[in-house]
Structure 1
Amino acid sequence: MLINADLLLQYQRCQRRPFLDSRGDRTQRDSPNELLLKLQQDKIAYQKSILANLSYHQPDYPRRDWEAGQAATLELMQRGVEYIHRGILLVSYDEWVNTENENFSASPDYQKYTLLSCPDLLVKHPGQSRFGDWIYLPANLEMGKRPKQEYQVGIAFHAQILAKFQETAPPIGLLQLRTRENTYPVDLLKWTPQMQLILAELIAALESADGAEVFISRQKCNLCHWYSQCYAIAQSQKHLSLLPGVTPVRYKQLQELELTTLESLANTNPSILENLTGFDREVANKLVVQAQAVLQNRPFILPYPLPLETITYTAPIEIYFDIEAQPDLNLNYLLGVLVVNRQTNTEQFYSLLAEKPEDEEIVWRQFLDLVWQYPEAPIYHFCAYEFDTVQRLGKLYQTPNSKVRPVLNRFVDVYEQLTQSVALPIESYALKAIARWLGFEWRDKEASGAKCIYWYDSWLETGDRTLLETIQRYNEDDCRATRNVKDWLVQFFQEEYYLRPA
């Protein structure tokens, strides 16, 4: 079986994923995700833009004939070409263990594994190797903004295999990140031991009967083609990873205390948890109450809620605000504003849309003009993005502080108010999860913020206005969902504090 750096990367993101990719039932996989396809296309385009400025060679070999690919790569290395794109190098895992580290232990069946290195680039560098007075450094072109662990572990994987063939270890590896003009040097002395341990764990997981335990981490799992299968298992087990606040670090601590069910966690004294890694007094109390809320299927006020006087209220005129953005273009193309006038029992939604990226400043000015028509109205939003973006747009377009600061002073983050005061019987505190628990539904069932990114790109390419209309409906529904959540929160606290018997 072949193990490459991609498999190593996937294992670091999800210990179950490589097992499913190699031994799972492929008919159980989800359909390709539109956003994932977009990310893959964006990465290809980014790599092509980097390669366009390099005079590189690529080994020529029949598809999947890895030994021929290796021979072609070694011939290019012998010639001393400056850059080799997608070179192929192979080593058996038993040879890796025996020659690189005599004390390094591995699975009993490691002989059946072959390690395949295929870095984005092999970069010629001064030094001494079997080829002459030059060596090669492994380099990858990554879309990420930061030199993540999984990127650096992958470079260490390529470097150690490369060392066998050039008979000298590269001093560093290289990462070209999307947000950096210069390459990022990877410290191989630091990352090689970590890579060896992760590789051994990966092989042990591949050798296991059922793979690693299911753990749902939505930010990492949502784009995976095994998500539906793993989520169904987690739901059937009532797995604690479905409980908001249970991170991998905290789950490990709970496992050691044998607190792996909702019932056991809900009945735990929070003081038992508060000094553990990943916990403190507030986290411990909040997690126990969260378990109680899910177990009893009802909301609870948290032990340390926001002061009652800071909880939001109902105003005569209220504004609900939501932004749709295209991160790759650093563009906020849709500012949605719902104005609710409770005095006249009327409401109006304004869809301030930049059909072209260069129109962002126009919709920014329109937004300011609109909200200044209601200078006393609180502006409700969900999470910090809207607040941060208004700050950024004010600076970007050199808007006087006297026009921006009073607007920001009216912002009220419904997410912050709710999550610091109440535990709900839900799996996530995303807007969709909360609003759907309250009975609110989006008109387009499959719409999401991530899909809007894909749809806006498609609009720019095709001019299909139905894509814009779908985005606008989704944005309006986000504003209305925020209103539903805010209204529920006000009513809940009124009932808890004012209608409760003395």
Structure 2
Amino acid sequence: MTEQDLQTLFNTLSDGRTPGRQDFNASRMYTLLEDPFSVWCSFHAPREEAVPEANRYENLKIRTDRSVRDEWIKKEFPGVVFVSGDNETERFKNTLAAMARGESAVANAQLWNLPESVYGSVNLLVRFNEGKSVFGNYHYRIYQFKRAHDLKEHYALQVSLLNRILGVTQKHTPEAARVFLKDRQMSVEYQDHADRLARELAYWRSIRDGQAKPEAHKPPKAAGAPWRVYANKVMAQTKDLLMLPGLNTEMRQCLKINGMHTTDDVAHAGLEKLRGILEEPHATDSYYNAQAYLHNKPILREAGHFPPPQKKYNLYFDFEATETFTKDNVSFVYLIGIWDKEEDKYVSFVAKTPEEEIKIFEQFYDYIKDFKDTALYHWTEYEVKKMKNLADKNPQDSAKLKALCSICYDLKVAVNKAFYLPAPSFSLKAAAPAFGFNWRQDDCGAMDSMVYFTSWLKTGNDELLNKVLMYNEDDCKAMLDLENKLKAAEVLNLKK
């Protein structure tokens, strides 16, 4: 291929421009499938409403995955060329040049097909000396890497789109691409996904062009960053049906068909009308949840479940655990946090390694002054499940862990059985803010805390650990705060 031929190919595929907002990046396939309202926001929401939120966990995971992937590529393909460039245009030009030279393997490749408004990055292009392409008597196939156990639908579509762009680029579409998962590899056949891919790209274009407006998710995560804050605000201000817990898309659509588009509409419709539209318990739950919003007060669901039994010692606890986002690490509970109601203080036990995990549970056990007169409050069943699993793995501490489980009390279950709340769900992050509680940090959530903890282990910077401790302390205090607010609230009994 001559330099002029290469320039002509670049001109054709670039369509005289660089990728922009009007083009679909293959890496956005997950967002298109799982969070299409974010896609809509990126085109149609006021730009000033965007609130950047760093995803430290995902960024760390990407860096780790890239490091592991590049090591493997260098080992398996010694002659590999890693594409670089100061910008996307340079990377694309350098990718085409490497393919034209017939390099045996091209890593970090950039592919464009801007006449069709699609582009993306490829982990590895591997040369096969068979079949003709625009470059000669060879063609390239895609090798993608994903540190997951299973091939998710969005990733199969992402790889298929890249395969399609590669086909346009080299005038030869491979039948399949290879995807390397955590413990196996798979062949992604292009024809198996071609029809679905065409439908999803058509859907994306309809969103871009304002012909379709997808439904958001349920607050407090109505959309992904940078549109989460905006989407949450819009759902609350418009009293969207998403604010009602327990309803799926089909149920909300049934309500809309019957003229109910807001929580106020549901509250004013009457229970009998709702029972003609929705099955139970969804009709009753939706009606009283809507009443809770209308009056901005909890509605009594069933007496006898709240308040929780009070003991001499009342402890509100929460775990933080790592995920296996690095090559050799294992998941373990690295932090047990407690808000001691009687002492009015926060207590924490920290494990630096998986081997220290059981030690902090022993410290947790030792902190209990009187098992007969102590209650351990938690939110969801995660903590108890974790301790039961640890008991099975650690026979020497099984009795202690089971003793801790025996005095646990799930506040979420109690609140759910007792009340209908003016909140979109019974997650702690939704229920506590409905009664005025706010976490002190905007830049440290459950996933962020893992990254801060990992960074603390590497650097010894206690400011990082302190951010994790503050986040965990707020989780513990949120439970007590919500309990106290519900005790003091005027609870409406509309079922009389």
Q: TM-score range by the shorter chain?
A: 0.7 to 0.9
Residues 431 and 3 (structure 1), Cα distance of their counterparts in 2 relative to 1, 3 Å cut: closer
Residues 312 and 175 (structure 1), Cα distance of their counterparts in 2 relative to 1, 3 Å cut: farther
Partner of 2:322: 326
Q: Map of 1:60-459 to 2, 5 A cutoff?
A: 63-65=87-89, 68-69=93-94, 71-72=96-97, 74-75=99-100, 79=102, 81-82=104-105, 84-90=107-113, 92-93=115-116, 114-123=117-126, 128=131, 130=133, 136-142=140-146, 146-165=150-169, 169-177=173-181, 180-186=182-188, 188-208=190-210, 212=213, 215-218=216-219, 221=222, 223-268=224-269, 280-302=279-301, 305=302, 308=304, 312-327=308-323, 328=325, 330-340=331-341, 349-355=346-352, 358-371=355-368, 373-440=370-437, 442=439, 447-459=444-456
Which of 26, 35, 39 is 1:5 aligned to?
26
Please give the alpha-carbon distance, in whole angstroms, between the structure 2 residues aligned to 1:319 and 1:326: 23
CA RMSD after TM alignment: 3.8
TM-score (ref. length: structure 1)? 0.78
Given that residues 62 and 68 in structure 1 are in contact (C-alpha distance below 8 angstroms), is that contact kept between their aligned partners in structure 2? no
Given that residues 35 and 217 in structure 2 are in contact (C-alpha distance below 8 angstroms), is that contact kept between their aligned partners in structure 1? no
Residues 230 and 475 (structure 1), Cα distance of their counterparts in 2 relative to 1, 3 Å cut: closer
Please give the alpha-carbon distance, in whole angstroms, between the structure 2 residues aligned to 1:400 and 1:57: 53
Residues 72 and 419 (structure 1), Cα distance of their counterparts in 2 relative to 1, 3 Å cut: farther
CA displacement at 1:353 relative to structure 2: 1.8
Partner of 1:43: 62
**Which moved further from structure 2: 81-90 or 329-338?**
81-90
CA displacement at 1:382 relative to structure 2: 0.7
Deviations 1:361-380 (A, max 9, x none): 32122123334742453321
What one-letter code is carried by the residue in structure 2 that aligns with 1:72? A
Please give the alpha-carbon distance, in whole angstroms, between the structure 2 residues aligned to 1:395 and 1:4: 46
Please give the alpha-carbon distance, in whole angstroms, between the structure 2 residues aligned to 1:205 and 1:378: 51
| Structure 2 unpaired stretches of 5+ | 1-21
Deviations 1:92-143 (A, max 9, x none): 33xxxxxxxxxxxxxxxxxxxx322432233457975547897644343345
Please give the alpha-carbon distance, in whole angstroms, between the structure 2 residues aligned to 1:338 and 1:129: 68
Which of 47, 66, 72 is 1:53 aligned to?
72
Please give the alpha-carbon distance, in whole angstroms, between the structure 1 residues aligned to 2:399 and 2:355: 25
CA displacement at 1:158 relative to structure 2: 1.7
CA displacement at 1:43 relative to structure 2: 0.4
What one-letter code is carried by the residue in structure 2 that aligns with 1:194? R
Partner of 1:100: none
What one-letter code is carried by the residue in structure 2 that aligns with 1:13? E
Deviations 1:332-378 (A, max 9, x none): 2211234445xxxx556431122556532321221233347424533
Residues 213 and 195 (structure 1), Cα distance of their counterparts in 2 relative to 1, 3 Å cut: closer
Partner of 2:14: none
CA displacement at 1:160 relative to structure 2: 2.6
State percent identity of aligned pairs: 19
What one-letter code is carried by the residue in structure 1 that aligns with 2:36? Q
Residues 380 and 122 (structure 1), Cα distance of their counterparts in 2 relative to 1, 3 Å cut: same
Please give the alpha-carbon distance, in whole angstroms, between the structure 1 residues aligned to 2:377 and 2:310: 11
What one-letter code is carried by the residue in structure 2 that aligns with 1:75? A
Given that residues 312 and 373 in structure 2 are in contact (C-alpha distance below 8 angstroms), is that contact kept between their aligned partners in structure 1? no
Please give the alpha-carbon distance, in whole angstroms, between the structure 2 residues aligned to 1:349 and 1:116: 50
2:81 aligns to what SS in structure 1?
coil
Residues 232 and 484 (structure 1), Cα distance of their counterparts in 2 relative to 1, 3 Å cut: closer
Please give the alpha-carbon distance, in whole angstroms, between the structure 1 residues aligned to 2:139 and 2:276: 50
Which of 464, 468, 479 is 2:465 aligned to?
468
Given that residues 87 and 122 in structure 1 are in contact (C-alpha distance below 8 angstroms), is that contact kept between their aligned partners in structure 2? no
Residues 73 and 419 (structure 1), Cα distance of their counterparts in 2 relative to 1, 3 Å cut: farther
Given that residues 30 and 226 in structure 1 are in contact (C-alpha distance below 8 angstroms), is that contact kept between their aligned partners in structure 2? yes
Instruction: Give the number of aligned pairs.
Output: 462
Please give the alpha-carbon distance, in whole angstroms, between the structure 2 residues aligned to 1:409 and 1:10: 42
CA displacement at 1:51 relative to structure 2: 1.8
Residues 126 and 476 (structure 1), Cα distance of their counterparts in 2 relative to 1, 3 Å cut: same
**Which moved further from structure 2: 282-291 or 470-479?**
470-479
Please give the alpha-carbon distance, in whole angstroms, between the structure 1 residues aligned to 2:336 and 2:458: 21
2:283 aligns to what SS in structure 1?
helix
Please give the alpha-carbon distance, in whole angstroms, between the structure 2 residues aligned to 1:360 and 1:463: 19
CA displacement at 1:73 relative to structure 2: 5.3
1:245 aligns to what SS in structure 2?
coil
CA displacement at 1:39 relative to structure 2: 1.5
1:88 aligns to what SS in structure 2?
strand
Given that residues 35 and 224 in structure 2 are in contact (C-alpha distance below 8 angstroms), is that contact kept between their aligned partners in structure 1? no
Please give the alpha-carbon distance, in whole angstroms, between the structure 2 residues aligned to 1:4 and 1:388: 40
Deviations 1:231-280 (A, max 9, x none): 3433432322233334445433433333211222223456766798xx75
Please give the alpha-carbon distance, in whole angstroms, between the structure 2 residues aligned to 1:441 and 1:220: 15
Please give the alpha-carbon distance, in whole angstroms, between the structure 1 residues aligned to 2:352 and 2:252: 45
| Structure 1 unpaired stretches of 5+ | 94-113
What one-letter code is carried by the residue in structure 2 that aligns with 1:435? A
